[in-house]
Structure 1
Amino acid sequence: MPSLPLSPIRTGGKPARISDHRLEVDGLTFEVHRSDRRKTLQITVERSGELSIVAPSQVTDQHLIDFVEEKLLWIHTKIEEKARLQERAPVKEFVEGEGFLYLGKSYRLRLVEKQLVDLSLKNGRFCLRRSSIHRGRDAFISWYARRAQQWFEKQVTEHATRMGVQVKEVKVQDLGFRWGSFGSDGRISFHWKAILLPPRIVQYVMVHELAHAHHPDHSSSFWIKVEQHLPDWRWRKTWLAENGIQVEGL
């Protein structure tokens, strides 16, 4: 269903604007997701600062606006908090014992004198060749990208078949604030940092992007498609929004 033009609604002397899938209040824009299964309203602040609301299908536009207005202080606080966290994300120093994430688990770093490759994962430890410390970040990104490529190629093949999606190519690269994207040409891309997240969260990222093959926007039909394959997508989405920032700083 195409999105309807935004309609102005008066709220506290200032007009709010709302359509089927978007709400604007106090200079903030929210993606609106309605569901027959939803019983309560929930606002999510993404790590990029994007905002979304999940609401029961029967909730009126005015109720939605009133709810957002009640939460404005909390919303602005969350936006500022995420911005501060991104600014303060600890930069890795590549020292002995430092922790590095991989599929949701933290592995301690061990510096080794001799090793054929810059970086390896052995016996529950990341092993970095001491002579490669100066290019530690590049070594980790390269390692993560290779593992992510293998993981996503296997998982995308399995899930694309179930979801009736034809994927021409799986790519892993730096996507900035995006975890993934699905192109109209059938190519699907993922941020290399996604492989740092827990498997169930990475799976959500993947199913989310595959669902875009059927619905390019975030309409109710899109979320219905996601829910068909991940009934608990809401908590995964919320977890990602609240905790995804922990992978910053490399």
Structure 2
Amino acid sequence: MSSPLEHAVSALNLPPKWRVRVQIRQRRRTLGIEVAPDGSVLLAVPVDADVEEITETLLANVDRVARAVRRRMAGGAEHQLKELVDGEHFSYLGRSYRLRLQEEPEARVRLVDGWLELPVGKGIPAGKRAIINWYTARGERWCKEHVSALASRAGVSVSSVRVRDLGSRWGERRADDSIALHWAVMQMSPPLIELVLAHELTHLRTARHSPLFREQLAMLVPGLEALERQLTVEGQAVWLGHIRGASAQPLISST
């Protein structure tokens, strides 16, 4: 470690098994703490980060990060690999649906009687994109229906809610006071989706993960700690778009 922030982090006597990296990100306004699949901890910090504030925030979140690191290093549930074949399971709003490939020319991705229907005739990458686009469209509609009431309770106004690929983050507060959710969040149960929404809405009042932030979020989300533990567990099992045997071969229905 070489920067003042890296020196400060190394002096915190964090658990010796933690592999901590500090990364300066131009677009960040607050500290981001990300736990990689190998258990390493990434601190994504803004350019003008205050060393004392960053270290205080990290210390306030040590227990939460430690739980995530332990699960990663213990080889917990990995993000699922899917096959685009009849009968594969995909989750939406906490419920599981089986995939059914459809050969009708006008078919589209949709839920029908407990099945998630996907048009065939396209390559596997195109089929994957179609499902992700379906989650994205469904997610934006769901968020628009639910964010107003939650924002009102939080005492904030939000310019817009977008659903997109956020990499390793479930949610993001943006510089224009809009928020974004990862499309994969839509696989989880509504209370967990609302937790992610509430987290980002709280950032509209309090930028960093301070004790005040935790207090505000807890007032907005009853049973906060239990839901956060549930999010950590379920979050490691959601599908992030990885396809087994991905290729340009066309999809073929078994019916």
- Considering the TM-score relative to the shorter chain, is it more than 0.5? yes
Task: Give the letter aligned to residue 164 of structure 1.
Answer: G
Asked if residue 166 in structure 1 is aligned to residue 160 in structure 2, the reply is no
Q: CA deviation at 1:151?
A: 0.8
- Contact 1:16/1:25, CA 8 A, preserved across alignment: no
Pairing of 1:74-93 with structure 2 (within 5 A): 78-82=71-75, 85-86=77-78, 89-93=79-83
Cα 1:161–1:249 shift into 2, 3 Å: closer
Asked if residue 219 in structure 1 is aligned to residue 210 in structure 2, the reply is yes
Q: CA deviation at 1:6?
A: 11
Cα 1:29–1:160 shift into 2, 3 Å: farther
Gapped regions of structure 1 (runs ≥ 5)? 9-14, 18-22, 31-44, 52-63
Cα 1:7–1:137 shift into 2, 3 Å: closer
Asked if residue 204 in structure 1 is aligned to residue 199 in structure 2, the reply is no
- Contact 2:35/2:68, CA 8 A, preserved across alignment: no
- Contact 2:110/2:116, CA 8 A, preserved across alignment: yes
- Contact 1:168/1:187, CA 8 A, preserved across alignment: yes
Among 99, 116, 120, the alignment partner of 2:106 is 116
Q: CA deviation at 1:90?
A: 3.9
Cα distance in 2, alignment partners of residues 221 and 187 from structure 1: 21
Considering fraction of residues, name the structure with more strand.
1
Counterpart in the other structure of 2:95: 105
- Contact 2:80/2:237, CA 8 A, preserved across alignment: no
SS of the residue corresponding to residue 175 of structure 2 reads coil
- Contact 2:80/2:238, CA 8 A, preserved across alignment: no
Q: CA deviation at 1:80?
A: 2.2
Task: Give the letter aligned to residue 114 of structure 1.
Answer: E
Counterpart in the other structure of 2:249: none
RMSD: 3.2
Task: Give the letter aligned to residue 190 of structure 2.
Answer: P
Among 232, 236, 241, the alignment partner of 2:232 is 241
Task: Give the letter aligned to residue 147 of structure 1.
Answer: R
Residues 181-237 of structure 1: CA deviation (Å, up to 9, x unaligned): 112321111111111111111111111111111111111100110111112011111
Task: Give the letter aligned to residue 162 of structure 2.
Answer: K
Cα distance in 2, alignment partners of residues 191 and 207 from structure 1: 14
SS of the residue corresponding to residue 216 of structure 1 reads coil
TM-score by length of 2: 0.68
SS of the residue corresponding to residue 162 of structure 2 reads strand
SS of the residue corresponding to residue 24 of structure 1 reads coil
Cα distance in 2, alignment partners of residues 218 and 189 from structure 1: 18
SS of the residue corresponding to residue 153 of structure 2 reads helix
Moved over 4 A (4+): 5-8, 45-51, 74-77
Question: In the comparison of the two structures, how many residue pairs are matched?
Answer: 200
Q: CA deviation at 1:109?
A: 1.0
Cα 1:165–1:47 shift into 2, 3 Å: farther
- Contact 1:46/1:242, CA 8 A, preserved across alignment: no
Gapped regions of structure 2 (runs ≥ 5)? 21-33, 43-58, 242-255
Counterpart in the other structure of 1:94: 84
Cα distance in 1, alignment partners of residues 74 and 17 from structure 2: 18
Pairing of 1:181-200 with structure 2 (within 5 A): 181-200=172-191
Cα 1:47–1:208 shift into 2, 3 Å: farther
Q: CA deviation at 1:155?
A: 1.2
Cα 1:131–1:77 shift into 2, 3 Å: same
Pairing of 1:51-66 with structure 2 (within 5 A): none
Q: CA deviation at 1:78?
A: 2.9
